[in-house]
Chains A and B, each alone.
Chain A
Amino acid sequence: MDFQVVVLAGGTAKNLIPLVSKEVPKALLPVANRPVLSYVLEHLEQSNLKDLIVVVEGQEAAVLVGNWISGAYVDRLHVEVAAVPEDVGTAGSLRAIAHHLTAKDIMVVSGDLVSDVPPGAVAAAHRRHDAVVTAMLSSAPVSGPSESGSSTGKDKTKKAGRYNIIGLDPTRQFLLYIATGAEVEKDIRIQKSILRAVGQMEIRADLMDAHLYAFKRSVLQEVLDQKDTFHSLKLDVLPYLVRSQLKSEVLLNGAPQAEENGNQKVNSQSNQVTLSGILANASTPSFHQLSVLGTNGSTRRTHKCCVYIADNSKYCMRLNSIQAFSDINRDVIGEASHLSGYSFSPQNNIIHPSAELGLKTTVGPHCMLGEGSQMGDKCSVKRSVIGRHCRIGSNVKVANSVIMNHVTIGDGCSIQGSVICSNVQLQERVNLKDCQVGPGFVVTAGSDCKGEALAKKEK
């Protein structure tokens, strides 16, 4: 279908800091005991997209991701892993791999997307409207307040767009305005020309930018080339394209692309003019065409920025905050269980056959117990994910938590709403609530923490 897919897998995201580390880049964070990146890759694979470019920030992370991918998908996917320097942003990442891009359209997917929205739908909407960019929006997650991390720098690590202000046309097919949280504190400035052309704009704050875009390659490359300062697709490129949609600059130099812009063939042949006239008149005019008509024949160029709004029944989340991490883990083994790819037991949980449970230990529904984990007596696990080869003592209560691999938990611990990374050791009677424990950390016996991030000091 002439689409190329770029997965932006990020690097070590700063707002996930206790969870990610040099050893575990964001892309490899486990969600229900699978790296989050696998959700994207398998989702794309289901759509028959098997030639992928995965862009990772940082050389080391790239190696890690590359190793994992080659191990897991060696015969299924054709993946090219490209490393880009850290801090180049999403736009910079694409700039760096621009020479690999050859297809007519490019689909850019964030590597932290956990979703079952068919990417084909976005691509189809893109093609149908012959758009310059199509963004996928989904309704913002209703669950737990997304922690709006104070770090705004890395677009890769941008928090969920809870404060996105999105302007749509009445048919909800075109994007008229987009602004993200930081900008919203100020006034919203909407261009009169767009408003005049559309007549009516629907402003929504309940939509999240899923960070899945389809771009017309020629336009994308042109924008990236011309605007060196653009750092982020979402914060710079997309708003720029949206802003300039009625006085498009992007297509001016790209003469070869002109013919793709259905309504304005600039062909000297009168036949061609008539032809495009017929086509343009017959198709439902978008406000773009109407606004051009309104200006009495001045040949302004326009381009279309479309949106695809995912159905509410679809699951769509980005793992871009710690809260999101817990939410996604919970959902993937809970309400969005079809994403996990596991088969659930009649009790609605997943217990690996090699896991050992002690006496009177209960594992409730929506739980997952990884391979080779052992649990002592009288434990209870509710709505939690426990990784591989964990050793959990007796009388431990785990609720709404994520416990990664090789974690040792002493007797009498109580863990609620927390994330415990790999190789952590919890000594006896530790009480954790809403905490994040970084990899390899040792929590001393009897500690009682609430809402803290515990991690080894990086040397």
Chain B
Amino acid sequence: MEARRASRTVSDPKVRHVGFFTPDPNPHPGRTPLASDAPVSNSLSPVMILPPRQPSDRTAAVPVPETGLRRQTGADQVPVGSYNPSESLLSSSPLPSSPSSRVGLVDGEFSEESGGWLRRSESGNYASSLPDTMVERAPENSASAAPRLESKKSVEVTGKGGKAVVEEQNEVQSSSKPLKAKTTKAERRALQEAQRAAKASGKEGNKSAAVSQGAAPVKPVKQPAQKKDGPPVSVSVVSFDKKGGDRPPEKERKKDVPAPRMQFDDKSRVQKAKKHAVVKQTEARNRVELFRHLPQYEHGTQLPDLESKFFQLDPVHPAIYKVGLQYLAGDISGGNARCIAMLQAFKEAIEDYSTPQEKTLARDLTAKISSYVSFFIECRPLSISMGNAIRFLKTRISDLPLTLSESEAKAALCSDIEHFINEKIILADKVIVRHAVTKIRDGDVLLTYGSSCVVEMILLYAHEMGKQFRVVVVDSRPKLEGQALLRRLVAKGLSCAYSHINALSYIMHEVTKVFLGAASVLSNGTVYSRVGTASVAMVANAFHVPVLICCEAYKFHERVQLDSICSNELGDPDAIAKVPGRTDVNYLNNWANKENLQLLNLMYDATPADYISMIVTDYGMIPPTSVPVIVREYRRDHVFL
């Protein structure tokens, strides 16, 4: 967690000190309560922060989005308020009376999307400030706060909020330096907080929950909210408490509950996992420290090794093997395509499957599918869409009536898979196209980034309908996926412009709408997508250009993610070190193994909901705050499908 926070600091250099440090110093729970909140934290932070992990990480990891937004809109600060409640909960045993109401408020904000500013600020904050850890913490918080909180989700949110609050404080302070106005705000805040802290300390150290809410409103806009909350406990204090209290629990948690995803900086686990690995995985040596928890392997060796084992992998069905190979070689990329390829491979495998004697189809097939899935994971980490599809398939298998004969069961599963592909992907795409086309008007200039198949369909469909618009395809190295899209669009007669992301801010002037694809949409409205998407969304936001995310609902996930560090995928570092076709750009030749050089080729990033005007999905066009509803409904849908 600490490390992640540090990363966040990167985005807002000034602010970070406070935020980071405060959490890190867990050892000083005592301090947290009352002492001069913000200032103290700041002063402390420098000492604490640096040691925890990696200075280098910061630069790479942190998603930029927060800063831009915050500065732009006063609303940013608002989220603080929301966060605070959570903090308070976490930090201290929450007091039932005042905090509860606030908690409710927080929840309401998330779910209802009521206040535009609230949402934005919150999401922005989380994304930037709250790293992966959030989720982990949330459970703890929830446990403590359970009585108050209606749902775990809310708890999580609050927890995040709490962290965010701390950060915000920091930010404010930091921001003050750059911007005069902000400085004044910051000063004011500091004063307010100090006063509050004093009050809080006098009243109740524990009331933090309420306090936190109050703290959140730190921003001028939200201040009213703070007042409502009443006893604004110093945010910093709260945060301190949390951290102090949190740490031990976190560790325990780790022991109790196996981490949902492998942390690849945990050597013993990695070692264990390796034993079962089919694909020979040599870990890349110079990994960026902030991303050590993600798998990264020497890309050069994997493919030949897997290829040479072609005939030795008896348990892997040829179709599965082929798709895995294509993942590994990068022949198939893109959420939908990977998912479809996987499902089709599963279908083939199921068709060829026969239950061994003395086993039941449901169990044995599930185990088989699991082994296939782990093979896929070795080839390339699963996308969220694939995870959802696998979950769907497994529930279908487990729901099979025992009375079915094997052939019937297989036929049923195959048709289920077909249905999934047709309804959840292809039909969904068509519906999305219908919806999205209504947003395209004559004379529009549409910007898209990378290559999203849904966006492509939208553009082509709109063109077929005779709408007059221009398209700007923004692309980035190293994948240059946009070129393929561009080629197809131009071939169909659309008038296009092509640019790289470096020139984004110059071309954004003329753009009227931004259409982006997504690898996933998370329940806090964060959009997880090809790296660079966040920058595009942020720039668009800065130019007041609406950002429409086109994403099939099967890609939605109930996870909450505030940044792109905790869960991401690392690409081949060579891809960024080498420029294909340019032998003259060879400065990094043979440098990849230098010990003091770390290459980071990140595949995805998380776009905070603040920057997203609308998500176009097969259930209609929704604001990012409505995602949890879809996730909930969609899951039910799964079960009853």
Contact A275 to B421, CB < 8 A, known contacts A120-B309, A124-B325, A128-B326? yes
The 8 Å CB contact of A48, one of B314, B334, B485, B491, is B314
| Residues of A contacting B341 in the complex (Cβ-Cβ under 8 angstroms) | 279
Contact A127 to B318, CB < 8 A, known contacts A279-B340, A282-B453, A285-B484? yes
The 8 Å CB contact of B337, one of A120, A121, A279, is A279
A279–B311 touching, CB < 8 Å: no
Indicate if B77 sits at the interface (CB-CB under 8 A): no
A278–B336 touching, CB < 8 Å: yes
A284–B311 touching, CB < 8 Å: no
A275–B340 touching, CB < 8 Å: yes
Query: Which residues in chain B, 417-436, are within 8 Å of chain A measured between CB atoms?
Result: 421-422, 425-427, 429-430
| Residues of B contacting A193 in the complex (Cβ-Cβ under 8 angstroms) | none
A294 to chain B, nearest CB (A): 8
Indicate if B308 sits at the interface (CB-CB under 8 A): yes
Indicate if B193 sits at the interface (CB-CB under 8 A): no
A281–B456 touching, CB < 8 Å: yes
Indicate if A123 sits at the interface (CB-CB under 8 A): yes
Indicate if A441 sits at the interface (CB-CB under 8 A): no
The 8 Å CB contact of B429, one of A121, A128, A274, A282, is A274
Q: How far is the CA of A130 from the CA of B319 in the complex (A)?
A: 11
A282–B338 touching, CB < 8 Å: yes
B311–A119 touching, CB < 8 Å: yes
Indicate if A448 sits at the interface (CB-CB under 8 A): no
A121–B304 touching, CB < 8 Å: yes
| Residues of B contacting A255 in the complex (Cβ-Cβ under 8 angstroms) | none
Q: Chain B binding site: helix, strand, loop or mixed by DSSP?
A: helix
Indicate if B73 sits at the interface (CB-CB under 8 A): no
Tally of contact residues, A, Cβ under 8 A: 32
Indicate if B228 sits at the interface (CB-CB under 8 A): no
A121–B326 touching, CB < 8 Å: no
Q: Scoring B residues 150 to 191 as 1 if CB is less than 8 Å from chain A, else 0, what string do you get?
A: 000000000000000000000000000000000000000000
B337–A281 touching, CB < 8 Å: yes
| Residues of B contacting A49 in the complex (Cβ-Cβ under 8 angstroms) | 311
Query: Which residues in chain A, 65-122, are within 8 Å of chain B measured between CB atoms?
Result: 104, 118-121
B62 to chain A, nearest CB (A): 30
Indicate if B310 sits at the interface (CB-CB under 8 A): yes
Q: How far is the CA of A129 from the CA of B422 in the complex (A)?
A: 25
A122 to chain B, nearest CB (A): 8
A282–B308 touching, CB < 8 Å: no
Q: How far is the CA of A284 from the CA of B334 in the complex (A)?
A: 11
A40 to chain B, nearest CB (A): 14
B337–A283 touching, CB < 8 Å: yes
A283–B332 touching, CB < 8 Å: yes
A118–B422 touching, CB < 8 Å: no
Q: Scoring B residues 304 to 339 as 1 if CB is less than 8 Å from chain A, else 0, what string do you get?
A: 101111111110001001100110011111101110
- Which of A123, A128, A277, A284 has the most B CB atoms < 10 Å from its CB? A128
A127–B334 touching, CB < 8 Å: no
The 8 Å CB contact of B318, one of A1, A118, A282, is A1
Indicate if B451 sits at the interface (CB-CB under 8 A): yes
| Residues of B contacting A48 in the complex (Cβ-Cβ under 8 angstroms) | 311-312, 314
The 8 Å CB contact of B308, one of A121, A271, A283, is A121
Query: Which residues in chain A, 237-294, are within 8 Å of chain B measured between CB atoms?
Result: 271, 274-275, 277-279, 281-285, 293
| Residues of A contacting B334 in the complex (Cβ-Cβ under 8 angstroms) | 278, 281-282
The 8 Å CB contact of B306, one of A124, A129, A130, is A124
Give the bracket for the number of chain B residues in contact with chain A. Answer: 35 or more
Closest B residue to A119 by CB, please name it: B311
B426–A275 touching, CB < 8 Å: yes
Closest B residue to A124 by CB, please name it: B307
| Residues of A contacting B304 in the complex (Cβ-Cβ under 8 angstroms) | 121, 311
B372 to chain A, nearest CB (A): 15
Indicate if A335 sits at the interface (CB-CB under 8 A): no
Closest B residue to A269 by CB, please name it: B422
Closest B residue to A105 by CB, please name it: B318
| Residues of A contacting B484 in the complex (Cβ-Cβ under 8 angstroms) | 281, 285
Query: Which residues in chain A, 1-21, are within 8 Å of chain B measured between CB atoms?
Result: 1-3
B331–A283 touching, CB < 8 Å: yes
A127–B309 touching, CB < 8 Å: no
Indicate if A299 sits at the interface (CB-CB under 8 A): no
B494 to chain A, nearest CB (A): 15
A284–B307 touching, CB < 8 Å: no
| Residues of B contacting A128 in the complex (Cβ-Cβ under 8 angstroms) | 322, 325-326, 329, 331
Q: How far is the CA of A283 from the CA of B322 in the complex (A)?
A: 13
B44 to chain A, nearest CB (A): 49
Closest B residue to A284 by CB, please name it: B331
B554 to chain A, nearest CB (A): 14
Closest B residue to A107 by CB, please name it: B311
Q: How far is the CA of A10 from the CA of B337 in the complex (A)?
A: 45
A281–B312 touching, CB < 8 Å: no
| Residues of A contacting B485 in the complex (Cβ-Cβ under 8 angstroms) | 281
| Residues of B contacting A64 in the complex (Cβ-Cβ under 8 angstroms) | none
Q: Scoring B residues 366 to 388 as 1 if CB is less than 8 Å from chain A, else 0, what string do you get?
A: 00000000000000000000000
The 8 Å CB contact of B491, one of A2, A3, A127, A293, is A293
Q: How far is the CA of A130 from the CA of B340 in the complex (A)?
A: 17
Indicate if A47 sits at the interface (CB-CB under 8 A): yes
A250 to chain B, nearest CB (A): 21
Indicate if B71 sits at the interface (CB-CB under 8 A): no
A47–B426 touching, CB < 8 Å: no
| Residues of A contacting B330 in the complex (Cβ-Cβ under 8 angstroms) | 284
| Residues of B contacting A2 in the complex (Cβ-Cβ under 8 angstroms) | 318
Closest B residue to A120 by CB, please name it: B310
| Residues of B contacting A281 in the complex (Cβ-Cβ under 8 angstroms) | 334, 337, 451, 453, 456, 484-485, 488
Q: Scoring B residues 397 to 437 as 1 if CB is less than 8 Å from chain A, else 0, what string do you get?
A: 00000000000000000000000011001110110000000
A282–B329 touching, CB < 8 Å: no
| Residues of A contacting B318 in the complex (Cβ-Cβ under 8 angstroms) | 1-2, 104, 127
Indicate if A205 sits at the interface (CB-CB under 8 A): no
B435 to chain A, nearest CB (A): 17
Indicate if A442 sits at the interface (CB-CB under 8 A): no
Q: How far is the CA of A104 from the CA of B352 in the complex (A)?
A: 14
- Which of B331, B333, B430 has the most A CB atoms < 10 Å from its CB? B331
Q: How far is the CA of A2 from the CA of B310 in the complex (A)?
A: 11
Contact A274 to B426, CB < 8 A, known contacts A127-B325, A311-B304? yes
A211 to chain B, nearest CB (A): 19
Indicate if A203 sits at the interface (CB-CB under 8 A): no
| Residues of B contacting A279 in the complex (Cβ-Cβ under 8 angstroms) | 332, 337, 340-341
Q: Scoring A residues 37 to 60 as 1 if CB is less than 8 Å from chain B, else 0, what string do you get?
A: 000000000011100000000000
A127–B314 touching, CB < 8 Å: no
A212 to chain B, nearest CB (A): 13
Q: How far is the CA of A128 from the CA of B311 in the complex (A)?
A: 14
Q: How far is the CA of A129 from the CA of B303 in the complex (A)?
A: 14
Q: Scoring A residues 124 to 149 as 1 if CB is less than 8 Å from chain B, else 0, what string do you get?
A: 11011110000000000000000000
Query: Which residues in chain B, 421-461, are within 8 Å of chain A measured between CB atoms?
Result: 421-422, 425-427, 429-430, 451, 453, 456
Contact A47 to B331, CB < 8 A, known contacts A271-B422, A275-B426, A283-B337? no
| Residues of A contacting B427 in the complex (Cβ-Cβ under 8 angstroms) | 271
A47–B310 touching, CB < 8 Å: yes
Q: Scoring A residues 185 to 200 as 1 if CB is less than 8 Å from chain B, else 0, what string do you get?
A: 0000000000000000
Q: How far is the CA of A128 from the CA of B326 in the complex (A)?
A: 6
B456–A282 touching, CB < 8 Å: no
| Residues of B contacting A275 in the complex (Cβ-Cβ under 8 angstroms) | 340, 421, 426
Known: A1-B321, A283-B331. 5 other contacts (CB 8 A): A104-B318, A118-B308, A119-B311, A124-B310, A278-B334
Chain A: residues with CB nearer than 8 A to chain B? 1-3, 47-49, 104, 118-121, 123-125, 127-130, 271, 274-275, 277-279, 281-285, 293, 296, 311
CB<8 Å pairs between A and B, sample of 7:
A2-B318, A121-B307, A124-B307, A125-B307, A127-B322, A279-B332, A281-B484
Chain B: residues with CB nearer than 8 A to chain A? 304, 306-314, 318, 321-322, 325-326, 329-334, 336-338, 340-341, 421-422, 425-427, 429-430, 451, 453, 456, 484-485, 487-488, 491
Closest 3 CB pairs of A and B: A120-B310, A282-B337, A118-B308
